[in-house]
Structure 1
Amino acid sequence: MDKVLKSCPHYKQLADIFATEREAEVVVMSSSAMELDPVENVVDNLEDPQDEHDISELASGSSAARPFAKKIKANHQNTAIDRLATLEAERRSFREKQLQFEIEKFNWKRQVETNKHENEKKIEYDFQLKKMELEQNERIRKLEIEMKYNK
């Protein structure tokens, strides 16, 4: 908390405005390997509260704090965590589209196989029908020959 207050003296005033996720980002971003998000630059660009009454209104989240929060959100720069979250959302969206494509591909292949199977059944049925017709014609001719020569 000392590092956070050292890098952003207005942190306690802004704590109620930012969600709890933002608190976690500030703690993560305070490591020596990464630069801090320029939150203090955002705060410096805004008008400072005039007295203790204004500070308490900001801390309590009153209606006077709403324009202040809008200014902060408007000037807020993307942090590394925001960028990672955006990339993760894009990756998840891509993966969902990829899975949807795979489902469509599977359904298409299944439909093609079903059509192929139905065509094979139809061909087999037509073959059996033609075979039975030929056998019938053969029996009829045999009977005709037998009748002709038996007379």
Structure 2
Amino acid sequence: MIAGIILLAAAALYLLNGRASSGAPVQEDPVEKWAPVACEQSSLDAELEIPSSSSVGSEIPLKVNLHNTSDAKPCYVDVGWDNVNVIVTSGDDEIVSSQTCEMGDQNKQLLLDRDMETSFTLSWRGGRGCGTGDLAQAGTYKATLTFSDQAADEETAVFTLE
């Protein structure tokens, strides 16, 4: 009988310790969970999309697609010309730079929720440099997208002017 009482007391202590150590469920802080952070290369995919063929002298859309691949945090990124640069080249010849020509807004912050996609478009007028007087000639061109803050990896797209 004494052995039974000792066994019962040991079982009761074991159960009480188990409940005490598990405690109340840990509450997740919603502010911390949803607090945005700066976008980083590891979680921001950027793609440069340009029509594969356009006419000489036409306005060429330089579309940038962004995807926050993080499942942990929303992130913000500056997509203004102060941070984003699209350089169009033909061979070693630089034809136009979106930063030099100040295409779009100087600073424009975008907030991307977790697993969110968005895009923005810069327009190149088809000229050499910032004007339209000296048109780029027919041929093959390469556009390179970079972020000064290195929020995303460098991306390139090849297209032709006919």
User: So what's the TM-score if we normalise by structure 2?
Assistant: 0.22
> By percentage of residues, which structure has more strand?
2
Q: Which structure has more RCO (C-alpha within 8 Å, separation ≥ 6)?
A: 2
